[in-house]
């Protein structure tokens, strides 16, 4: 075989091997994603339980999106507004510390539009005394949102960073997670129960694309061989 044909042939075969490897990787990722979706779906629809007493990396993986229930008293004077974009439009999440018997937990009580940003504009939601909160356990969102960093000094928040909010509001030690509260049966503001549990799963499309490119590369290799034979 001539040298000028050997290099393109080797490149085509190498590309085919690489594309097959990428396709197999996407198949494995798809299996992982389907398992994750099934596990999270089971947590979301399970009966509420107490939040985990001990917190570590392993617990964090298994606890996210678990349905939990806690009882305590809201510290309304320490609430934090975090920018939000929901099915109701733009506005804010209202995060309020909940002081329980053993700890303090940040609770995302729900959504408010810009005209209900001030706590005085929603007095019915400033519940006093002991309350029981049911919702989904969520992991902290440190730093900020995409291209938008939290600015505690200016009180501008784009992500629910538990540790940073706790420091800014001086509530002391808090649990390393927050709770997305379920919808309140009485309605009003904040509007809870707007958590969207959805995972993007396009791994099959990517796998088919990589396998298709592998086939194209092999066709190219065959074409090179035939051209050499004719030569």
Distance CA(173)–CA(166), nearest Å, equals 7
Query: For the chain, what is the domain count?
Result: 2
Shared domain check, 86 and 19: no
At 46 the pLDDT is: 82
One domain, residues 160 and 82: yes
130-139/177-181 β-pairing = antiparallel
**36 and 79, same domain (yes or no):** no
pLDDT in tens, 157-206: 999 999 999 999 999 888 999 999 988 766 688 998 887 777 787 888 88
**Alpha-carbon distance values, 184 to 23, 43, 194 (Å):** 46, 20, 11
177 and 215 belong to one structural domain: no
Output the domain CATH number for residue 122.
2.40.50
Residue 79 sits in the same domain as residue 153: yes
pTM for this predicted structure: 0.74
In a domain, 187, yes or no: no
Residues 92, 171 within the same domain: yes
* 12 shares its domain with 90: no
Q: Are residues 157 and 211 in the same domain?
A: no
Q: Does residue 148 lie within any of the structural domains?
A: yes
pLDDT digits (tens, 9 = 90+) for 41-50: 777 788 888 8
Containing structural domain, residue 79: 66-181
How far is Cα 47 from Cα 129, in angstroms, rounded to an integer?
Answer: 25
Provide the mean pLDDT of the chain: 86
C-alpha span between 204 and 194 (Å, rounded):
29
Mean pLDDT across 151-161 = 93
Task: Answer for the pair 67, 136: CB distance below 8 angstroms, yes or no.
Answer: yes
- What whole-number percentage of the chain has pLDDT above 90? 38
Same domain, 10 and 71: no
- In this structure, are 217 and 145 located in the same domain? no
Does any domain span residue 52?
A: no
Residues 171 and 224 in one domain: no
Distance CA 135, CA 93 (A): 14
């Amino acid at each position: 075989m001539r040298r000028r044909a050997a290099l393109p042939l080797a490149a085509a075969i190498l590309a085919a091997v690489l594309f097959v490897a990428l396709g197999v990787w996407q198949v494995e990722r798809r299996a992982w994603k389907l398992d994750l979706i099934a596990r999270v779906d089971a947590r979301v629809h399970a009966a509420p339980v107490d939040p985990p007493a001990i917190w570590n990396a392993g617990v964090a993986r298994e606890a996210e999106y678990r349905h939990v229930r806690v009882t305590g008293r809201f510290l309304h004077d320490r609430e934090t507004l975090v920018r939000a974009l929901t099915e109701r439009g733009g506005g804010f999440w209202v995060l309020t510390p909940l002081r329980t018997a053993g700890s303090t937990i940040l609770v995302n009580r729900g959504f408010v539009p810009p005209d209900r940003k001030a706590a005085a504009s929603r007095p019915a939601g400033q519940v006093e005394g002991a309350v029981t909160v049911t919702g989904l356990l969520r992991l902290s969102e440190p730093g900020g949102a995409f291209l938008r960093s939290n600015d505690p000094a200016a009180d501008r928040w784009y992500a629910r960073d538990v540790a940073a909010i706790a420091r800014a509001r001086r509530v002391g030690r808090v649990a390393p997670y927050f709770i997305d509260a379920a919808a309140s049966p009485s309605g009003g503001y904040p509007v809870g129960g707007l958590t969207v549990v959805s995972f993007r799963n396009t791994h099959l499309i990517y796998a088919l694309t990589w396998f298709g490119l592998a086939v194209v590369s092999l066709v190219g290799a065959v074409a090179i061989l035939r051209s050499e034979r004719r030569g």
